[in-house]
Amino acid sequence: MTSTAPANAPDWAARFSDRMARVRASEIRELLKLLDQPDILSFAGGIPDPDLFPIERIEACFGEVLSDPAQARQALQYSVSEGYLPLRQWIAERMTRDGMPCEPRNIMMTAGSQQGLDLLGKLLLSVGDTVMTARPTYLGALQAFNGYQPEYMDLPEGALTGEADAVLAARRPAVGYFVPDFANPTGASLTLEERQALLDLAGRLDMTLIEDAAYRELRFAGEPLPTLLALDIARAGSIEAARTLYCGTFSKTLSPALRIGWITGPAVVIEKLVLLKQGADLHVSTINQMVAERVVSEGYDQHLGRLRAAYAAKRETLLAALDRHMPAGVTWTPPEGGMFVWLTLPEGMDGKVLLERALTEERVAFVPGAPFFAEVASDNCIRLSYSLPNDADLEEGVRRLGRLIGRGQESARASATTVFS
Ligand code: PMP
């Protein structure tokens, strides 16, 4: 929605900085704001299921912190920009067990991993630098980086097999941004070979890697794979020699409202990030960090077990419904974790046009795929999130969507055109 200003208002557009040229509301986010109507079955919201928030435990931990006067005074006070030390210690130990030996000095807490992406953009990107991303990639990362005026480059075909080195050498990406586990929007993960090849490529190009691990803890199928940072540390000998900067978050496992994420990387990088964090907002909420540390210090793995089982069950329901209701020509790949399934529609069918018709004709919503592409977009894809709907709505929503896509295919055949383009 664009606001209108009175005639005597200053011409703000002319006063905004150059960097605002790329900072725009996403059409899709604007459209999705209209989806609150109760009769719409929505696969759009890529957010955690609130039924899975550990509400009682969070309530108890707030109570414990606030009922102890010494802790309460600390919890409600300003604190260091690096973040609450006991929480950073807990994260360092957990990451060390996950193959990423590191210490608290390698970790800075951020207001969600989204702020981590913004601060990394600020730290690493000069105007015109090239960021390489998967195709498609996380829209929020593009929004975070846009303010630093980079160019984007899709990971080229053959990049991981060394066949695109000439293209890559010409464009010299400074930064590569990847979500190796259960990516948003595709739900797809990089294989071990792809992770190794990505590190080889980063080495050949002398490129910094940003690893976004937002969904890593939500694996419910297949074997866990080492993170890019773990493989990087194994090659380089220590985190201090690694080129990968890792963004973690408690948003998908505890609660996004706590706004607690972190960046893990070499101490020299963390020291600079701390200066940027100071300038941005001083520190993450002290009380939220203290509460989060208490929450995760007991029973976190059992809690994760419950989350994984719940999302696995929802995924099963969605996949079974897709098998039952999607017409031929629609394809998808089952994710091994996370919250998303990516549908490729028949060639020529436009996800955005499909959404408009889905809303009016079938009262069903999802996110069209095109905005998730950094460089060259594909229109015939959509993102389905299965985190929020219950089983009955997953089934019914897919039935309606399949019916609509089928109608589009039929009328396209009848008129020898594409209906949803
Ligand atoms: N990365 C990815 C891939 C995401 O999907 C999200 C949330 N949608 C984030 C980062 C940001 O999450 P938060 O700031 O809550 O940690």
**pLDDT tens for each residue of 181-205:** 999 999 999 999 999 999 999 999 9
Side-by-side strand order, sheet with 381-385: 331-332, 340-344, 381-385, 367-368
- Say how far apart CA 72 and CA 194 lie, in whole Å: 47
Of all protein residues, whose CA lies closest to atom 8 belonging to ligand 1? 46
- Say how far apart CA 94 and CA 381 lie, in whole Å: 36
- The structure tokens 């259960």 sit at 182
In terms of DSSP bridges, do strands 261-264 and 244-249 run parallel, antiparallel, or are they unpaired?
A: antiparallel
Please answer whether residues 420 and 329 qualify as being in contact, where contact means their C-beta atoms are separated by less than 8 angstroms: no
Of all protein residues, whose CA lies closest to atom 2 belonging to ligand 1? 214
Within 13 A of 57's CA, how many CA atoms are on the CB side? 16
Listed in order, strand segments (DSSP E) in 129-254 are: 130-133, 151-154, 175-178, 208-212, 244-249
Instruction: Choose one of 113, 181, 182, 372 to mutate for the ligand 1 pocket test, by most ligand atoms within 8 angstroms of C-beta.
Output: 113
* Residue 181 DSSP label: S
Q: In this predicted structure, what is the pLDDT of residue 419? A: 52
* Cα angle, residue 221 at apex, residues 217 and 225 outer, rounded to 5°: 60
Side-by-side strand order, sheet with 261-264: 107-110, 261-264, 244-249, 208-212, 175-178, 130-133, 151-154
410 against 84, higher pLDDT: 84
The amino acid occupying position 124 is L
pLDDT exceeds 80 at position 27:
no
Residue 304 CB neighbours (<10 A)? 15
For a pLDDT cut of 90, what percent of the chain falls above it?
Answer: 86
pLDDT exceeds 80 at position 242:
yes
Distance 77 CA to ligand 1 centre (A): 27
Q: In this predicted structure, what is the pLDDT of residue 416? A: 63
**pLDDT digits over 345-393, tens only?**
999 999 999 999 999 999 999 999 999 999 889 999 999 999 999 999 9
CA dihedral sign, ordered 90, 91, 95, 100: negative
Q: In this predicted structure, what is the pLDDT of residue 26? A: 74
Instruction: Choose one of 184, 216, 340, 388 to mutate for the ligand 1 pocket test, by most ligand atoms within 8 angstroms of C-beta.
Output: 184
Of all protein residues, whose CA lies closest to atom 1 belonging to ligand 1? 214
Task: Name the strand (E) or helix (H) holding 119.
Answer: helix 112-124
Confidence of residue 418 (pLDDT cuts 50, 70, 90): low
* Cα angle, residue 144 at apex, residues 342 and 79 outer, rounded to 5°: 120
CA dihedral sign, ordered 73, 75, 79, 85: positive
For residue 249, which atom of ligand 1 is closest to its CA? 16
Q: Is 114 exposed, middle or buried (0-12, 13-18, 19+ CB in 10 A)?
A: buried
Which residues are near ligand 1 (CB < 6 Å)?
46, 112-114, 138, 140, 179, 184, 212, 214, 249, 251, 256, 261
Distance 119 CA to ligand 1 centre (A): 14
- Say how far apart CA 163 and CA 204 lie, in whole Å: 13
Nearest Cα to Cα of residue 335 among 190, 186, 228, 135:
186
Distance 416 CA to ligand 1 centre (A): 42
Q: What average pLDDT does the structure give for the chain? A: 94
Instruction: Choose one of 109, 114, 115 to mutate for the ligand 1 pocket test, by most ligand atoms within 8 angstroms of C-beta.
Output: 114
**pLDDT digits over 109-154, tens only?**
999 999 999 999 999 999 999 999 999 999 999 999 999 999 999 9
In terms of DSSP bridges, do strands 130-133 and 175-178 run parallel, antiparallel, or are they unpaired?
A: parallel
Distance 18 CA to ligand 1 centre (A): 26
Q: At what angle do helices 228-236 and 192-205 cross, to 10 degrees?
A: 60
Please answer whether residues 362 and 400 qualify as being in contact, where contact means their C-beta atoms are separated by less than 8 angstroms: yes
249 beta partners: 261
For residue 260, which atom of ligand 1 is closest to its CA? 16
The encoded tokens of residue 414 equal 């009848």
Of all protein residues, whose CA lies closest to atom 11 belonging to ligand 1? 114
Distance 114 CA to ligand 1 centre (A): 6
Of all protein residues, whose CA lies closest to atom 6 belonging to ligand 1? 214
State how far the alpha carbon of 212 is from the alpha carbons of 198, 257, 405, in Å. Answer: 14, 19, 33
Residue 283 CB neighbours (<10 A)? 21
Hey, what domains does the chain have and what are their CATH numbers? 16-53+302-412 (3.90.1150.10), 55-298 (3.40.640.10)
Distance 211 CA to ligand 1 centre (A): 12
- Say how far apart CA 254 and CA 346 lie, in whole Å: 38
In the chain, how long is the greatest CA-to-CA distance?
A: 74
Q: Is 83 exposed, middle or buried (0-12, 13-18, 19+ CB in 10 A)?
A: buried
For every residue of 7-42, DSSP letters joined together read TTS--HHHHS-GGGGG----HHHHHHGGGG-TT-EE
* Residue 287 DSSP label: H
Please answer whether residues 236 and 204 qualify as being in contact, where contact means their C-beta atoms are separated by less than 8 angstroms: no
Q: Kindly report which listed range (4-8, 137-141, 182-186, 260-264) carries the lowest average pLDDT score.
A: 4-8
For residue 250, which atom of ligand 1 is closest to its CA? 16
**pLDDT digits over 81-99, tens only?**
999 999 999 999 999 999 9
Count of residues in the chain: 421
Instruction: Choose one of 109, 249, 281 to mutate for the ligand 1 pocket test, by most ligand atoms within 8 angstroms of C-beta.
Output: 249
